[in-house]
Amino acid sequence: MVKHYRRRSGSDRQLFLLILAGFVLVSYHLCLGQEDVFLQMRVLKYREPLAARNFETVDMEGNSLYFNEFRGKVVLLNFWATWCGPCKKEMVPLEVLYQRFRERGFVVLGVSLDQGGVQVVKSFVEKRGLTFPVVIDTSGKAKSIYHVTSLPTTFLIDQDGRIIGKSLGPRDWASEAAFALVESLLASGH
């Protein structure tokens, strides 16, 4: 008995290579997982998470607010100021991110380093329709505790109150990469 082999055409080989490339790409993304979303957002992921320290600030009504009140939630802690151009660009994307995940235990906490008082920050927040918690570091203690030297500076803190990542400079917090990052933090529990 003689077997006949059909020679593969060029289009068959191209289809096979496309399927193989797709498989490799999907496998790559599954293997990287959370590491990949940190990289995409240019967020430094800490190898050893650090305990997030408590601090006291003042909310828009002049009331004291303690950072520990957010324990049990994933927190994006953003240090900013109304006079900081890159900070201002982040505010609406941070609101989008907050709205998308707030019902699932996610909080954006904006810590203003403005020296102009509550009214300056409150006016800024109202004009942009921001609903995430915004506080003012009137004493400079939070800035000092977190060693903030440039704005914006953002920390990612897990449900256990551990700092797991940090970014310096602005990010597009309304991007698919940001959504994937927060989704991975909420899903993994850290």
Q: What is the pLDDT of residues 64-113, one digit of tens each?
A: 999 999 999 999 999 999 999 999 999 999 999 999 999 999 999 999 99
CB proximity list for 84: less than 8 A, separation 6 or greater: 151, 152
Angle (deg, nearest 10), helices 118-128 and 85-101: 60
C-beta neighbour count of 151 within 10 angstroms: 22
pLDDT at 172: 97
Tell me what the mean pLDDT of segment 161-182 comes to.
97
Residue 83 is classified by DSSP as T
Q: How confident is the model at residue 7 (pLDDT cuts 50, 70, 90)?
A: low
User: One-letter amino acid identity for 22?
Assistant: G
The residue ranges of every structural domain in the chain are 1-33, 41-188
Chain centre distance of CA 137: 21
* Fold type of domain 41-188: Glutaredoxin (3.40.30)
CA–CA gap between residue 158 and residue 165 (Å, rounded): 9
Chain centre distance of CA 177: 9
pLDDT at 165: 97
Whether the Cβ atoms of residue 43 and residue 170 lie closer than 8 Å to each other: no
Model confidence, pTM: 0.81
Chain centre distance of CA 92: 13
Q: How confident is the model at residue 188 (pLDDT cuts 50, 70, 90)?
A: confident
Question: Which of the residue ranges 12-16, 21-25, 165-169 would you say has the lowest mean pLDDT?
Answer: 21-25
Q: Is 143 helix (H, G, I), strand (E, B) or coil?
A: helix
